[in-house]
Amino acid sequence: AKAKKTPSKGNSIELSSDGEVEEGSWEMEEEEDGSSEEMVDDYGASSSEEEELLPIEKAALKQKPDSGGFGEDDSEEEEEDDEEVAEEASRQKMGQEEEESHDLQLNLDIDEQFKLPTSDQIEKEDILSMSSPPDLHVIHQRIKGNMEVLQDFAAKREEGRTRQEYLALLRRDMAAYYSYSDFLLMKLMDIFPLPELINFLEANEVPRPVTIRTNTLKTRRRDLAQALINRGVNLDPLGKWSKTGLVIYDSSVPIGATPEYLAGHYMLQGASSLLPVMALAPQENERILDMCCAPGGKTSYIAQLMKNTGVILANDSNAERLRSVVGNLHRLGVTNAVVSNCDGRQFPKVRSRCSEVLGGFDRVLLDAPCSGTGVISKDPAVKTNKDEKDILRCAHLQKELILNAIDSVNAASETGGYIVYCTCSVMVEENEWVVDYALKKRNVRLVDTGLDFGKEGFTRFKDRRFHPSLKSTRRFYPHTHNMDGFFIAKFKKFSNAIPQTQKEPAVKAAAPPAVPDIVMEPQPKKKKLEGSKADKEQKPLRPALKKRCSLKAQRRPLKA
């Protein structure tokens, strides 16, 4: 049996039975052993290619030997021409496909232009949401479409629809998608532009990175970083603005239970909590008050910058939270702090009793209690459990605390006279509003915080206008700075005198009219002679007349 082989380009090369190479042969003769098996390659495929070729390929192979007059150069040119033709054809196909896809996209844009749902559709969604959870994908797509319309409202809005209708639907959808209360979303929409609001809400769904602060009273940041890396902690420096902070990406050991933590080499502390102490800039041998100190991270950072010199009064109104303060101060090796449990609003009364101890601080740090709208990623319950009363209650407490903090500072201090006010809230009522109130009630002015980054505070908000110096305050947001929402303002006190309010002179002015009433003795006699009308007018004034007569009887000897 003969195994035929298809010819290839040029001369074919075959092996004979004795192993010699034969050129130009087209058939293989029968071997001596008479085996009729075909040659098989390593992968088990048959060596005969005729069975695998298509009829068109076989015809092409038959034509190639006939055209033996053409050289290799001609065949190469033909192949190149074929390739060019194939490339042109593919390009034309790609162009047609792109045009078709572009046309389809335009058609989709025209067909899927955002339209406000009718009231019936909204009622159906409300009924369905009571029995089953809402379709978040549909709500998210509707938020996107609504945002696109609001960004170019004049061109993309529906006829007869107002902007308020689009905003009401957007607020409703965002409340359902991000699980916020309608009140809080209205407040946030007043603060942020719409594109930035979406970024803020998305950032609140992601936890902030874990950060630690090196305790330079016991170690250096470089040595601490090397020790933690050896324990399997992946970390980096926090940023150029901080010389002690480290950010933790992941760890094979609990970061709050390492030997370094127990030895007080570092403190678990958010990046935004470092900023108020940096703005306060405490100096050595100063007397400093931390009015709301729990859990002690800022107090220990102040002691660290003061190198355990001077005196720090760490105060908090919650006795239970002071336990953590005492534990952290002992663990971190702080020796210049005194812990007290007083209400910050009662400091003037306490200071009058112990003026030598609690009066005349060089600097005061007030991290005021707030609504917590800047730390929603840590406490998601803030999304729904805050209302207007909570915001106003916090604002009233903050106004009381900031006035007492200012009164606790000595304006004549050689190195100080500064007050730093900060909150973990983004509400204007708790930040700029309180600062503007303090500027009106006390002899203080705003100064630069010394922080190179952060957004400027508001000088106008809706129908309110604040002092122009509020530009020196700083706001920090999770979606722009990747840290908790924070507000920082720094005051400089230039006089210890308290400005007189409008109520005090009114009280003093009310006293002088009593003197002419007593001096005018003939008035009762005139009233008796006037008749019945005068008697009717005197009836409701009889108790007052009795008092005046008694006063006159007592003072007559003095006049004589």
pLDDT confidence of residue 166: 86
The answer on whether 239 is annotated among ligand-binding residues is no
The mean-pLDDT minimum among 48-57, 120-129, 248-257, 355-364 falls in 48-57
Which residues 6+ apart lie within 8 Å of 321 measured at CB? 294, 295
The answer on whether 190 is annotated among ligand-binding residues is no
Question: Phi/psi at 135 (nearest 5 deg)?
Answer: -80, 105
Bigger pLDDT: 531 vs 269: 269
Residue 267's nearest CA partner among 219, 307, 320 is: 219
Asked if residue 370 lies in contact with residue 423, where contact means CB atoms within 8 angstroms, the answer is: yes
Asked if residue 336 lies in contact with residue 309, where contact means CB atoms within 8 angstroms, the answer is: yes
Residue 365's nearest CA partner among 293, 436, 427 is: 293
The answer on whether 367 is annotated among ligand-binding residues is yes
pLDDT tens for residues 2-16? Answer: 444 444 444 444 444
Output the DSSP codes for 446-496.
EE----S-SEEPPSEETTEE--GGGGGSEEE-HHHHSS--EEEEEEEE--S
Q: In angstroms, rounded to a whole number, what is the distance separating the alpha carbons of residues 527 and 535?
A: 8
The answer on whether 298 is annotated among ligand-binding residues is yes
The answer on whether 327 is annotated among ligand-binding residues is no
- Check whether domain 271-493 has CATH 3.40.50.150, yes or no: yes
CA distances from 231 to 192, 211, 257, 258, 294 (A): 43, 17, 12, 9, 30
pLDDT confidence of residue 156: 80
pLDDT tens for residues 400-429? Answer: 999 999 999 999 888 889 999 999 999 999
pLDDT band, very low/low/confident/very high, at 530 (cuts 50, 70, 90) = very low
The answer on whether 117 is annotated among ligand-binding residues is no
Q: In angstroms, rounded to a whole number, what is the distance separating the alpha carbons of residues 557 and 560?
A: 5
pLDDT confidence of residue 128: 65
Bigger pLDDT: 12 vs 453: 453
The mean-pLDDT minimum among 85-89, 243-247, 392-396, 548-552 falls in 548-552
pLDDT band, very low/low/confident/very high, at 31 (cuts 50, 70, 90) = very low
The answer on whether 296 is annotated among ligand-binding residues is yes
Q: Domain 209-268 is of which CATH architecture?
A: 2-Layer Sandwich (3.30)
Task: Examine domains 209-268 and 271-493 and report if their fold is the same.
Answer: no
pLDDT confidence of residue 16: 45
pLDDT tens for residues 77-110? Answer: 555 566 666 666 666 666 665 555 544 444 434 4
Q: What is the mean pLDDT of residues 237-262?
A: 93
- Its sign, for the CA torsion 257, 260, 262, 264, is negative
pLDDT confidence of residue 287: 94
Q: In angstroms, rounded to a whole number, what is the distance separating the alpha carbons of residues 485 and 275?
A: 12
Sorted by where each begins, the domain ranges of the chain are 119-205, 209-268, 271-493
Residue 281's nearest CA partner among 314, 299, 306 is: 306
Output the DSSP codes for 504-521.
HHHHHHHSTTHHHHHH--
Q: What is the mean pLDDT of residues 278-304?
A: 94
The per-residue pLDDT of the chain, averaged, comes to 78
Asked if residue 494 lies in contact with residue 411, where contact means CB atoms within 8 angstroms, the answer is: yes
Q: In angstroms, rounded to a whole number, what is the distance separating the alpha carbons of residues 187 and 181?
A: 10
pLDDT band, very low/low/confident/very high, at 536 (cuts 50, 70, 90) = very low
The answer on whether 42 is annotated among ligand-binding residues is no
Residue 400's nearest CA partner among 345, 353, 460 is: 345
Q: Which residues are catalytic?
A: 424
The answer on whether 536 is annotated among ligand-binding residues is no
pLDDT confidence of residue 83: 65
Q: What is the pTM of this model?
A: 0.69
Q: In angstroms, rounded to a whole number, what is the distance separating the alpha carbons of residues 302 and 312?
A: 8
Q: Kindly state the tokens that stand for 96.
A: 């047609």
The answer on whether 294 is annotated among ligand-binding residues is yes
Question: Phi/psi at 535 (nearest 5 deg)?
Answer: -65, -40
- Percent of the chain at pLDDT > 70 equals 65
pLDDT band, very low/low/confident/very high, at 135 (cuts 50, 70, 90) = confident
pLDDT band, very low/low/confident/very high, at 379 (cuts 50, 70, 90) = very high
| 157-166, long-range: CB < 8 A, 24+ apart | 158/115, 158/116, 161/116, 165/116, 166/116
Q: In angstroms, rounded to a whole number, what is the distance separating the alpha carbons of residues 454 and 481?
A: 8
